[in-house]
Amino acid sequence: MKAIWRSLLVLSVIFPAQAARTDGAVLDVVMAGFRGVRHVEASYVERRYLAVLRAPLETRGTLRFDAPDRLEKTSDGERIVVVGDVMTIEHGGAAPVALDLREHPEIAALVESVRALLAGDSVALRRVFDVDLAGDATRWQIVLRPHRDDLVRWMRVDGEAARLTRIETQEAGGDRSEMSIGAAR
């Protein structure tokens, strides 16, 4: 009987280690695929579930990424552009507002998650998040848990090969969002 328990203990130690190595290898393959994409543009639908509202807010628009660090989100009358450490927000006819992301680390973490994924930069991703991956290189899910959780508790990113298909975010205050991302154009 002791031999069986010993064998089970050995197997429980060996197989989780093997799974972790596989997840790392899959993450490397996924990130390598993203590194090969220099420009991507896709439509999105985002639903934000806010505690103060009975129904979700829905926006539709376009996401653009130009490697290595330009990210743009455009929707009905609003445009958000991030280049380097500067986020510029344009809303309607109002004057653009520029934010230095170094002064807003909670926003920087959100931006960095998407940008690091699209750039295939796993080092930058791990600098800000604990990264858990499930699936294989053709269809995967990455759960990101920020080292600082003052704005976001976690993000769950689904994808197929080098394409994001869905991003779900759980905010620290209880609000959440779901973004479905269409095929790249």
Taking only the tens place, the pLDDT of each residue in 69-81 is 999 999 988 999 9
Question: Domain range spanning residue 84?
Answer: 23-184
Residue 130 lies in a domain: yes
Residue 13 lies in a domain: no
Residue 87 lies in a domain: yes
**pTM of the model as a whole:** 0.82
Instruction: Give the number of other Cβ atoms within 10 Å of residue 50's Cβ.
Output: 15
Read off the pLDDT of residues 38-49 as tens digits, 9 standing for 90 and up: 999 999 999 999
Report in angstroms the alpha-carbon separations of 3 from 12, 13, 17.
14, 15, 21
Q: How many domains does the chain have?
A: 1
Q: Name the average pLDDT for the chain.
A: 85
Residue 1 lies in a domain: no
d(C-alpha 25, C-alpha 173), whole Å: 34
Residue 16 lies in a domain: no
Report in angstroms the alpha-carbon separations of 167 from 1, 32, 69, 104.
48, 20, 19, 21
Tell whether the model's pLDDT for residue 6 goes beyond 60.
no
Looking at this protein, which amino acid is placed at residue 69?
A: D
Residue 8 lies in a domain: no
Give the CA count within 13 Å in the CB-facing half-sphere of 149. 12
Tell whether the model's pLDDT for residue 93 goes beyond 80.
yes
Structural contact between residues 78 and 90, judged by C-beta atoms closer than 8 angstroms: yes
Looking at this protein, which amino acid is placed at residue 17?
A: A
Cα–Cα nearest to 176, from 48, 65, 10:
48
What confidence category does residue 23 fall into, taking pLDDT thresholds of 50, 70 and 90?
low
- Report the CATH number at residue 147: 2.50.20.10
Looking at this protein, which amino acid is placed at residue 89?
A: I
What confidence category does residue 158 fall into, taking pLDDT thresholds of 50, 70 and 90?
very high
Residue 123 lies in a domain: yes
Read off the pLDDT of residues 120-147 as tens digits, 9 standing for 90 and up: 999 989 988 999 999 999 999 999 998 8
Residue 113 lies in a domain: yes
Give start and end residues of each alpha helix (H) in the chain: 2-35, 105-119, 122-128
